[in-house]
Amino acid sequence: MRKSIRQAVFILSFIVSMSLTCVAARAQYNDLSVTSSCGGQVERRGANFYVGEEQLAEEQLAGLLAHTDFTSAQVEKYQKGFKAGKGLLIGFGSLTGAGLITAGVGLVGVAVEAVALGIGVAFTAPLFVATGTSPDIQYESKFQYVAYAGLIAAGAGILGLATGTTVYCVYKKRLNKVENAINARCADVQVSFGAQKYGVGLAVNF
């Protein structure tokens, strides 16, 4: 008899406890409910992906890609292409700048040489007139080759910039598609913990 009473008391206590828990959970639904959309908005910065200020590790990114049409191998290829394009822009941009500077120095040198030659001829002209001879002027600029080299370097740099810009833009666009695909998929997956329709628990909504 006593054992039956104890069992009844235990069962009653358990029922009351669960009832109070559910009531309290529903009363504090707004405080308990936590909604997550894949951890937050994914943002591409350069070739990497971030959630807030945290860079996604390969494993985290692979988990998000599982909900899209992209694979980790594809994204890795896009990242390498993006970095290659950026490297081409930096490298050929430097070459173009150096070529233009070199060409400028060469052209200035040619101009200075021409001015110096003209001044020399002007000063020696009376002497040639007095002697009845003509000046034997042979002008070969030493700076013209510097100017040529600079122009060639600048031309090669411009061609490289065109190639780098194409590669950079193509892979940047593809990485942006990956970002949009992840965020679009994450917006469709809602995970919540708290008071649900039939009690307290975890719910995943697609």
pLDDT tens across 179-199, in order? 999 998 876 555 444 454 555
Assess if residue 6 is contained within a domain.
Answer: no
Residue owning tokens 């190639």: 163
Assess if residue 194 is contained within a domain.
Answer: no
Counted domains in the chain: 1
Q: Are 168 and 88 in contact (CB under 8 A)?
A: yes
Q: Are 70 and 174 in contact (CB under 8 A)?
A: no
What is the reported pTM?
0.62
Length of the chain counted residue by residue: 206
CA nearest to 178, candidates 95, 82, 108: 82
Q: Are 75 and 60 in contact (CB under 8 A)?
A: no
Q: Which residues contact 166 (CB under 8 A, 6 or more apart)?
A: 85
Per the structure, the complete domain to which residue 158 belongs is given by 38-188
Q: Which residues contact 163 (CB under 8 A, 6 or more apart)?
A: 88, 92
Local confidence band at 101 (pLDDT 50, 70, 90 cut-offs): very high
Assess if residue 182 is contained within a domain.
Answer: yes
Q: Are 78 and 167 in contact (CB under 8 A)?
A: no
> CA 121 to CA 148: how far, in whole Å?
27
The pLDDT of residue 86 is above 50: yes
Assess if residue 29 is contained within a domain.
Answer: no
CA nearest to 39, candidates 196, 189, 206: 189
The pLDDT of residue 61 is above 70: yes
Assess if residue 119 is contained within a domain.
Answer: yes
Assess if residue 14 is contained within a domain.
Answer: no
Q: How confident is the model at residue 165, as a pLDDT?
A: 96
Angle between helices 144-188 and 72-131 (to 10 degrees): 160
Local confidence band at 62 (pLDDT 50, 70, 90 cut-offs): very high
CA nearest to 186, candidates 54, 71, 39, 35: 39
The pLDDT of residue 109 is above 50: yes
Local confidence band at 8 (pLDDT 50, 70, 90 cut-offs): very low
Identity of residue 104: G
Instruction: Bin 52: left if φ > 0, else alpha if -120 < ψ < 50, else beta.
Output: left
Assess if residue 67 is contained within a domain.
Answer: yes
Q: Are 44 and 174 in contact (CB under 8 A)?
A: no
Assess if residue 201 is contained within a domain.
Answer: no
Q: How confident is the model at residue 36, as a pLDDT?
A: 40
